Amino acid sequence: MTKKKVKKPEFQDVVGTPTAMLLPARNYKFRVYDKEFSVTVPRKGKYVDLDHEMFTEEDGDFNIMQYSRKDKAQMVYLPDLSKVMFAVSKYPDLKDTQAFTPIALVIKKDTVEVVGNVIEMTKEK
C-alpha cells in the first residue's frame, strides 16, 4: 500500500499590517492628496526603548539601514521601517480606502525620513 503525500501549503495566514508592497501591474483609479507626508524615525536602536508597552527586550534591536559585509551592499529592511513607525506613533492614520505610498527615504547618521503621499483608491466610473 502506498501512502499519499500531503502537500503542505506554501503560504501562511497572517493578521497584521503589510509593509510596503507592489500592486498587480495594471491601471488603478485613485486620488493623490496634495500634502506631502514626512515622518522621521530613529535609524537604529532597541524596540523596547521606543515603546515599552508594545515591545519587550525579546523583540531585540532594529537597524533600518544595514550593511552586509558578505555582499558589500547597503540594505533597507522595510518591515523594520513599518514597525518603528508604529513604535514611535508616527504610522499614518488612514481610512480603509487609503494607503501611504513612500516615494523617498532620506537616510542620515541617526535618523530615517520617510517621504511620501497619501492616496485613496476610488471606484472606476
What's the rounded Cα separation, in Å, for the pair 13 and 58?
Answer: 23
Q: Distances in Å between the alpha carbon of 104 and those of 25, 67, 119?
A: 21, 19, 15
pLDDT tens digits, 75-99: 888 888 999 999 999 988 999 999 9
In this structure, the chain runs to a length of 125
Q: Distances in Å between the alpha carbon of 25 and those of 9, 22, 36?
A: 25, 8, 25
**Residue-level pLDDT at 9:** 81
Domain chopping of the chain, boundaries: 41-121
What percent of the chain stands above pLDDT 90?
Answer: 57
Q: What is the rounded average pLDDT of the residues 21-41?
A: 91
**Residue-level pLDDT at 125:** 64
What's the rounded Cα separation, in Å, for the pair 23 and 36?
Answer: 21
Is pLDDT at 51 greater than 80 in this prediction? Answer: yes
pTM for the model: 0.79
Residue 66 pLDDT level (bands cut at 50, 70, 90) = confident
The answer to whether 116 and 40 have CB atoms below 8 angstroms apart is no
